[in-house]
Structure 1
Amino acid sequence: MLQTQVSVSPAPTDWRQVFEEAYQGRHTYDFKSGSTIPMGPQDLWIVCRGIVQLGTLFASGDEAVLGFVYPAMPFGLPLTQLNPYEAFALTDVVLMRLNQVELESSPLLAQGVLQQLSRRLQQTEAILAMISQRRVYDRLVQLLLMLKQEVGHVTPDGVRLEVRLTHQQLANLLGTTRVTITRLLGLLRQEGWLTIDRTRHFVIADAPSESL
C-alpha cells in the first residue's frame, strides 16, 4: 500500500499574470523543446509558458534530474550551489530574464519570486519523500500523481499529462534503470491506471491497485 501522498500546493495568486502585466512589453526568450537554456551567473529566469527540467551531472557522467519548473517559477545560477547546473526545455518554453538588481528594486517582483521559490521548495521535498520510498513502483506512481496535479489536463479518457517524458528521464529522476521503468509502466497499463495516447502522452485514470 502507498503510505505517503506527496503534492505541491498550487499558488494562491496567479503570479504568472502578475509578472506578465508588470513587465508588459519586456523582451522574452523562446526555446524549442529539447533546447539547452543558457545561464549566466547573475541571470534569474522566470517561466512564462511551458516546462523546464533542471539537472546536474556526476563525475561518473551519470545525469540526475533535479525537478521541473512550471509557469511563474524562477530558476538560475543565483539559486543554486550545484556545479554543473543545467536546464533544458522539456516543452516549448517562453522565458523572461531578470537580474538580481531588478529583483532588489521591485518589491512586487521580489514577493512573487519568494512565493514561487516556496513552491519549488515544496516540490523538492515532495521529490525527496518520493525517492526515499523503497519500491520503485511506489516512486513512479507518486511522480505521476505529482505531474498529474501540476501539468494534468482533464480529458474524457482521464487526466493527460501535458509533457512527454521518456523512460530514461523517468529512470534518472527515480534513481533506477530504463528497463525497470519500462516494465513498471507496462504493469500500470495492464492495471488500467495508465494509458498512452497517439502523441505518446501519459493519460492517468483511477488510482492504481494497492498490490504489485
Structure 2
Amino acid sequence: MTFIDLPISPLWLDLVQWGKDHYRDRIFAKEALIPTRPGPLYLVHHGVVRLVSQTTFPSALPPHPPAEALVGLLGIGQPFEIVSHPHFVISAQAHVDGTAVLWLYWNELQQWQALYQQILEQFKAQHRQQLLWMGILGQKSTFHRLLNFLILWGKSMGETPGQDYYLPYPLTHAQLGQAVGSTRVTVTRLLARLRKQGLVWQNENNRLCFNYPGLQSLLT
C-alpha cells in the first residue's frame, strides 16, 4: 500500500501561489506548533507535519501530564484536517525545519477539480493506513507492535533498496513509543535487540532502516 503522491504540476504550483497571494501560507521551524482549527483543509507543501493526539480525560489519580500519541506523519502534497472531540485534542507540529503549510476551504479547492479528486484519494489512503495502524495498536506484545509499525510505515511511505526499507522521516525513540503505545525506554531496549541481530540500523540521514524479511520472520 502506498500513498498517492500529488505531482508537482502546474495546478499544484498554482494552488501554492494562490495560498501565498491570499496569505494562507506559513513556514514553521522544527517542533513549532502549527495553528489549526476544525473546518479548514490543510496541505503540506514543504517538509513534514507531525500530528499528535493529547487526551483530556479527567483523572482521579494525582496529576499526570496528558498522554500523547503520534497519530500521523504527513509529507509534501498530503492533506489533513483537525477534528473536535471532547476527550482528545489533535495538534499539528512541524517535524522538520522549514515545513510549509497552506490552508483553504473545500469550496475554494473546487476551482482545481483535478487536485480536488487527488486530495480525496489521499484522504482515502490515509484512512486505510489508520485502520491498519489501529489494528497494530490492538496487539498485546509491544515487540510485535513495533515490528508491525516499522513494516507498515516502511512499506507504505518509506523507500527501499532491495529487501531493505527505511522510514520516510527521522523519528526519535520517544516518538516511536508514542506511535506504538509504549515508552522511550522500552523502544530503545527493543531496537537494541534488533540491532544486535543486524535487522535495524541508522542510515547517514539518521533514518531508521530495517531488513523486511528479517522482521517478517520474527512475526511468524
Instruction: Say whether the fold is shared (TM-score over 0.5).
Output: yes
Deviation at 1:155, TM superposition (A): 5.6
Using the alignment, how far apart are the partners of 2:12 and 2:32 within structure 1? Answer: 23
Matched position secondary structure for 1:134:
coil
Q: Which residue pairs with 1:62 in the alignment?
A: 67
Q: Which residue pairs with 1:101 in the alignment?
A: 107
Whether 1:91 and 2:117 are equivalent positions in the alignment is: no
Render the CA deviation track for 1:73-95: whole Å, top value 9, x for unaligned: 21132xx2335220112223222
Render the CA deviation track for 1:124-167: whole Å, top value 9, x for unaligned: 11111111122111111111122222443446994333421111
TM-score relative to the length of structure 1:
0.81
Using the alignment, how far apart are the partners of 1:51 and 1:172 within structure 2? Answer: 17
Render the CA deviation track for 1:49-81: whole Å, top value 9, x for unaligned: 33211112113511122122233221132xx23
Structure 1 counterpart of 2:84, one-letter code: Q
Q: Which residue pairs with 1:5 in the alignment?
A: none
Deviation at 1:191, TM superposition (A): 1.5
Deviation at 1:198, TM superposition (A): 5.0
8 A contact 1:46–1:73 mirrored in 2: yes
Q: Which residue pairs with 1:3 in the alignment?
A: none
Structure 2 counterpart of 1:63, one-letter code: E
Q: Which residue pairs with 1:9 in the alignment?
A: 2
8 A contact 1:103–1:110 mirrored in 2: yes
Using the alignment, how far apart are the partners of 2:84 and 2:125 within structure 1? Answer: 19
Matched position secondary structure for 1:91:
coil
Q: Which residue pairs with 1:81 in the alignment?
A: 84
Matched position secondary structure for 2:34:
coil
Q: 1:159 aligns with which of 165, 172, 176?
A: 165
Once superposed, what is the RMSD of the aligned Cα atoms?
A: 2.6
**Aligned-pair identity (%):** 25
Structure 1 counterpart of 2:28, one-letter code: F
Distance 1:50 1:150, change over 3 A: farther
Deviation at 1:20, TM superposition (A): 1.7
Using the alignment, how far apart are the partners of 1:36 and 1:72 within structure 2? Answer: 19
Map 1:108-187 → 2, pairs under 5 A: 108-154=114-160, 158-187=164-193
Q: Which residue pairs with 2:12 in the alignment?
A: 20
Q: Which residue pairs with 1:210 in the alignment?
A: 218
Map 1:191-206 → 2, pairs under 5 A: 191-206=197-212
Deviation at 1:24, TM superposition (A): 5.3
Tell me the matched-pair count. 201
Deviation at 1:38, TM superposition (A): 0.8
Matched position secondary structure for 2:33:
coil
Structure 2 counterpart of 1:170, one-letter code: L
Distance 1:133 1:73, change over 3 A: same
Using the alignment, how far apart are the partners of 1:90 and 1:146 within structure 2? Answer: 19
8 A contact 2:38–2:84 mirrored in 1: no
Structure 2: which 5+ runs fail to align? Answer: 57-63
Higher alpha-carbon deviation: 170-179 or 200-209: 200-209
8 A contact 1:16–1:48 mirrored in 2: no
Using the alignment, how far apart are the partners of 2:130 and 2:81 within structure 1? Answer: 15
